[in-house]
Amino acid sequence: MPAGRPGPAAQSARRPPPLLPLLLLCVLGAPRGGSGAHTAVISPQDPTLLIGSSLQATCSVRGDPQGPTAEGLYWTLNGRRLPPELSRMLNASTLALALANLNGSRQQSGDNLVCHAQDGSILAGSCLYVGLPPEKPFNISCWSKNMKDLTCRWTPGAHGETFLHTNYSLKYKLRWYGQDNTCEEYHTVGPHSCHIPKDLALFTPYEIWVEATNRLGSARSDVLTLDILDVVTTDPPPDVHVSRVGGLEDQLSVRWVSPPALKDFLFQAKYQIRYRVEDSVDWKVVDDVSNQTSCRLAGLKPGTVYFVQVRCNPFGIYGSKKAGIWSEWSHPTAASTPRSERPGPGGGACEPRGGEPSSGPVRRELKQFLGWLKKHAYCSNLSFRLYDQWRAWMQKSHKTRNQHRTRGSCPRADAARREVLPDKL
């Protein structure tokens, strides 16, 4: 918690008195009396000042003429004794204090300025508030996860720190009618956020703004206008599974489940996948997944562990034309590609299940596959299963050739072996 401190001269300290009563001063109020019947008054009481300001304060003793006099009084600020040259006697019962170029408060509840008797007892106290007025909040963003609630967060003013307790209030109202409402559930997703759990209308825009107030002033953000249907997001897709595609060394299959929160609403969904190798922090993003809940990553490195994440963007809810808001990424799921004796392309792309492969290397291999079928007059119902069997057979034949080459096998035998059809194709 912030608290104000004086300029260079006032920052030197000698011996601090006990801290516990000092820390309670600005919470419980300034003490009205010290030992016995002796009392004192600090003026001004609990002042609020801008950073860089000066303060002229007095401590006036009341009560028994035989009690403390101004000659024996001294000041402390936040438990540290202020240098005597900052004080001067105005009369036998009043000690004045002059502080210049005050810094921001060290605690938001106010700095503790205390007047002491010669024996160290506390005669009077005052809370000193030194800071800045709030600046205009900005960068308001809001989202809804079930079209019944709304969560918003914002950024405080450009400098942020005011050194004073600053209250932020999120206000909202229907754009063309209705009264102002104040959000009540704060700090739900961070220090500057608020959650509106219910009683929101659809198909009509809202106006949303943030008001900031403290002892030195107030500020209001620009108004954000939005429709709940345009800011819908979801939780990350659950149950993400990553597995091998048979013996194919450069592919992994990714499957997931649509977020359940929106299953009862009319909408479309876009998905993105990102993946990285185990020893890297660089993610590669696959954008062409569309609204499917399964996909193949092709062109990967054989014998490599990959971490995969998926996220969802619901759009077109009840006819909304806005793009929607991407969910957070799902938790990383790991899987490894089979090892290979030949280097893989290592490019990486998404091959949607049941659709046309989207990566360059896979398109070329499919073209080779179809040409190979035509060359051998092999007729069959084409499918990914047949294609997978052909890929597996090709990889197996590559391994066999490599083994024979290391043993000095005959090139003509290798060429003849390449013309043999796979048994189960």
Weakest-pLDDT range from 135-144, 204-213, 361-370: 361-370
Task: Identify whether the C-beta of residue 140 lies closer than 8 Å to the C-beta of residue 151.
Answer: no
User: What is the Cβ-side half-sphere exposure of residue 160, based on CA atoms within 13 angstroms?
Assistant: 5
Q: Which residues, other chains included, contact 260 with Cβ-Cβ below 8 Å and sequence gap of 6+? A: 238
Per-residue pLDDT at 141: 95
Task: Identify whether the C-beta of residue 277 lies closer than 8 Å to the C-beta of residue 305.
Answer: yes
Task: Tally the residues of the chain.
Answer: 425
At 272 the three-state DSSP class reads strand
Give the highest mean pLDDT range of 174-188, 209-223, 249-263: 209-223
Bridging pattern class, strands 122-131 and 48-50: parallel
> Could you write out the DSSP letters of every residue in 298-344?
ESPPTT-EEEEEEEEEEE-GGG--S-----PPPPPEEEEPPP-SS--
For residue 26, give the nearest of 9, 59, 2 by alpha carbon: 2
Task: Provide the pLDDT confidence category of residue 57 given band limits of 50, 70 and 90.
Answer: very high
Per-residue pLDDT at 396: 67
Would the pLDDT of 29 be above 90? no
The Cα–Cα gap between 339 and 102 comes to 69
Q: Which residues, other chains included, contact 261 with Cβ-Cβ below 8 Å and sequence gap of 6+? A: 145, 146, 234, 235
Would the pLDDT of 391 be above 50? yes
Q: DSSP label at 416? A: H
Per-residue pLDDT at 63: 67
Would the pLDDT of 161 be above 60? yes
Going from the C-alpha of 118 to that of each of 131, 217, 341, the distances in angstroms are 32, 39, 89
Q: Which residues of 327-362 are buried (b: 16+ CB within 10 A; e: fewer)?
A: bebbeebebebbebeeebbeebbbbeeeeebbbebb
Going from the C-alpha of 264 to that of each of 126, 260, 267, the distances in angstroms are 60, 8, 9
Q: State CA 150 to chain mean position distance.
A: 17
- Give tens-digit pLDDT for 9-27: 333 333 334 444 444 446 4
Weakest-pLDDT range from 94-103, 259-268, 299-308: 259-268
Alpha-carbon dihedral 366, 359, 424, 405, rounded to 10 degrees: 90
At 90 the three-state DSSP class reads strand
Per-residue pLDDT at 178: 77
- The structure tokens listed for 111 are 């700095």
Task: Provide the pLDDT confidence category of residue 349 given band limits of 50, 70 and 90.
Answer: low
Stronger pLDDT, 275 or 421, i.e. the higher one: 275
The Cα–Cα gap between 219 and 132 comes to 12
Per-residue pLDDT at 222: 96
The Cα–Cα gap between 113 and 117 comes to 14
213, β-bridge pairs: 167, 218
- Give tens-digit pLDDT for 255-284: 998 887 666 666 678 899 999 999 899 999
Going from the C-alpha of 270 to that of each of 105, 141, 283, 309, 359, the distances in angstroms are 50, 21, 19, 14, 19
Would the pLDDT of 28 be above 80? no
The Cα–Cα gap between 174 and 35 comes to 60
Burial (0-12, 13-18, 19+ Cβ within 10 Å), 119: exposed
Give mean pLDDT, residues 227-237. 88
Give mean pLDDT, residues 302-311. 95
- The structure tokens listed for 244 are 């091998």
Query: Would you tell me how many other CB atoms lie within 10 Å of the CB of residue 268?
Result: 12
Task: Identify whether the C-beta of residue 192 lies closer than 8 Å to the C-beta of residue 108.
Answer: no
Stronger pLDDT, 62 or 83, i.e. the higher one: 83
Q: Give the N- to C-terminal CA distance of the chain in Å, as an integer.
A: 74
The Cα–Cα gap between 156 and 171 comes to 15
Please state, rounded to an integer, the average pLDDT across all residues of the chain.
78
Per-residue pLDDT at 70: 86
Instruction: Put residue 210 in one of left, alpha, beta given phi > 0 → left and psi -120 to 50 → alpha.
Output: beta
User: What is the Cβ-side half-sphere exposure of residue 280, based on CA atoms within 13 angstroms?
Assistant: 12
